[in-house]
Amino acid sequence: MEEKLMDLDEAVRKFVKNGDVLTPGGTTQPVPSALVMEVVRQRKRNLTVVTAGAVDTVDMLVGAGCVKRLEIGFVAIHSPRGLSFAPCVSRALKEGIPRKIEIEDYTNLTMTLRFFAGACRLPFIPVNSMVMSDVAEKRVSEKKLAKIRSPFDDREVLVVPASNPDVAFLHCQIADKYGNAQRWGMLASDIWAAKASRKIIVSAEKIVESEEIRKNPNLTVLPGFMVDAVVEVPFGSHWWACQGFYLADKEFQAKYYKNAQTAESFESFLEEYVYGVESHEEYLEMVGRERLAELVVKKPAYSKPVNYGCE
């Protein structure tokens, strides 16, 4: 087996190129925040971002001028009032600040099915989610979707093309140095998106011995042979949560939301927390170790015992 352990900056520099199609994952938590911030720090440009659900990380990529195009199910960020419109995406669409972007919207299920088709190496897949919608009709006219006749009952079926991104990010709880990655909690479309991609970068809260991975093989969401780089990144999902490790940082979520309201305050945020630090470790120092310690899960939450039929 080939060891694939890399530093954060090395993995992004090696596998994320200007103009790539990137699926950053994080439709649910954990979110690959550290990987996304490294993309911003390295000032990657002209990316196409494809995802079933976009959160703060995608808003950051757009606000930093990294993105030229979005193919998404939705985009929203956390605010003190709950999920809200993504300010940087809104500015880019309406005002072209910092740069004008294109957007191609689908439903969450449609994007997930596109990744599923891509993972199975299918050219397209049927979908009912967008049938009879004006979005579907628009995409059909653009030749982004198509209507075909079922060979079994002659019904009209809407089909969508597969999505095969250049690079996928996936943040996991643990992985080994060979890239065998384990994640628990909500998976949403993240695993299909990763498997559909040509390159996969995994960030993990902790790098463990392979023996630990083999103790619970059913938790392995990506086998090492599919992974191109694995990076150990404690608090790699901050300011979102990572189940079993730490809670969401509500205070920092509110800080991001406040700073994202204007282009000027957002640029100040980037200068302080992204461009102004040279590494993820320095970023954590900026956030504050005491603050991070408050987020750490203090009590173990054991799953319900399972009886496999043994005495």
Cβ-proximal residues to 20 (8 Å cutoff; 6+ apart), any chain? 44, 47, 48, 165, 166, 167
Predicted pLDDT of residue 127:
95
pLDDT in tens, 272-308: 999 999 999 999 999 999 999 999 998 877 778 888 7
Q: In DSSP terms, which residues pair with 200 in a beta bridge?
A: 168
pTM of the model as a whole? 0.95
What pLDDT digit, counting tens, does each position of 108-155 carry?
999 999 999 999 999 999 999 888 889 899 999 999 999 999 999 999
Q: Do 103 and 70 contact (CB within 8 A), yes or no?
A: yes
> What phi-psi label fits residue 96: left (phi over 0), alpha (psi between -120 and 50 degrees) or beta?
left
d(CA 201, CA 179): 9
Q: pLDDT tens for residues 51-98?
A: 998 889 999 999 999 999 999 998 888 887 877 889 999 999 999 999
Question: Where on the phi/psi map is residue 31: left (φ > 0), alpha (ψ -120 to 50), or beta?
Answer: beta
Q: Which residues of 60-69 are buried (b: 16+ CB within 10 A; e: fewer)?
A: bbbbbbbbbe
User: 194 with 222: CB under 8 angstroms?
Assistant: yes
What backbone torsions phi and psi does residue 303 show, to the nearest 5 degrees?
-80, 165
The pLDDT score that the predictor gives to residue 306 is 80
Please report, as a single letter, which amino acid is at residue 44.
K
CATH topology of domain 8-105+164-282: Glutaconate Coenzyme A-transferase (3.40.1080)
| Dist CA 170 CA 191 (whole Å) | 8
- Check residue 254 and report its DSSP letter: H
Q: Supply the pLDDT for residue 307.
A: 81
CA 271 – CA 285 distance, rounded (Å)? 15
What distance in Å separates the CA atoms of residue 169 and residue 217, rounded to the nearest whole number? 21
pLDDT digits (tens, 9 = 90+) for 149-187: 999 999 999 999 999 999 999 999 999 999 999 999 889
Write down the domain spans for the chain. 8-105+164-282, 124-161
